[in-house]
Amino acid sequence: QVLLVQSGAEVKRPGASVKISCKTSGYSFTTYYVHWLRQAPGQGLEWMGLIHPFHGKTDYAQKFQDRVTMTRDTSTSTVYMELSSLRSDDTAVYYCAKHRDVSMVYALDYWGQGVLVTVSS
Amino acid sequence: DIQMTQSPASLSASVGDRVTISCQASQDISNFLNWYQQMPGKAPKLLIYDASHLETGVPSRFSGSGSGTEFTFTINNLQPEDFATYFCQQYDDPSTFGGGTKVEIK
């Protein structure tokens, strides 16, 4: 079955960076985009960007353009999201999610379990 | 960014009711809209894509309609497992979500 398993919770100081992994299985890793999203406590969802695992091309939301880096490792079918210059308002649950098909419909059919990143001094 | 205004923010309903949620886009997004269900502490689940297409395995009591700037999500014959929060997502440019609608038991 399709699985996306994310790394564990993180606690970071303001100004630090965090790198979260998302290990995928059960489907052709290099065929489908993987998206990253986040959800602050009690809030709605925020799209951060995506990566295509075949060639590594990325598309970031303008808000995160200068702070986020998405990469992949095809040997382990894993994608990574690194967010730098962390602030307290970056405290959120971070999700990876698989693009549903090979079209440009940003429908996300499988999700990781989410990773809580807490930014606090 | 395209703003998605979702309403109501919450509603109370009973098992068997029909529930309707609206999502309004700040500009024309054609049919580039999806709907998700989220249970507390869980990741969202895709229900509807391209405004009106039911995702595989999702019960037919869920439906979506609309195009342009006005969209509607409907649950017919509300079931106990449907009490959750629902989000719309536009992916015209590039992607933003509505604020969510929490469906609670009356």
B43 pLDDT more than 90: yes
Question: Average pLDDT, whole number, for chain A?
Answer: 96
pLDDT at A105: 83
What number is the average pLDDT over the span A5-28?
98
B89: chain A residues, CB-CB within 8 Å: 45, 47, 106
Kindly list the distances between the CA atom of residue B89 and the CA atoms of B21, B37, B96, in Å, as whole numbers in the listed order.
Answer: 13, 11, 6
Please compute the mean of the pLDDT values over residues A7-28 and round it to a whole number.
98
* Cβ pair A83, A16 in contact under 8 A: no
| pLDDT tens, residue by residue, B63-84 | 999 999 999 999 999 999 999 9
The percent of residues in chain A predicted with pLDDT above 90, rounded, is 94
Give 3-state DSSP helix, strand, coil % of chain A, rounded to 5: 5, 50, 45
Over residues A51-65, the mean pLDDT reads 96
Q: Do A107 and B55 touch (CB under 8 A)?
A: yes
CB-CB under 8 Å, B49 with A44: no
pLDDT tens for A73-102 read 999 999 999 999 999 999 999 999 999 987
What's chain B's length in residues? 106
Q: Mean pLDDT, to the nearest integer, of A31-35? A: 96
pLDDT band at A104, cuts 50/70/90? confident
Say if the Cβ atoms of A44 and B100 lie within 8 Å. Answer: yes
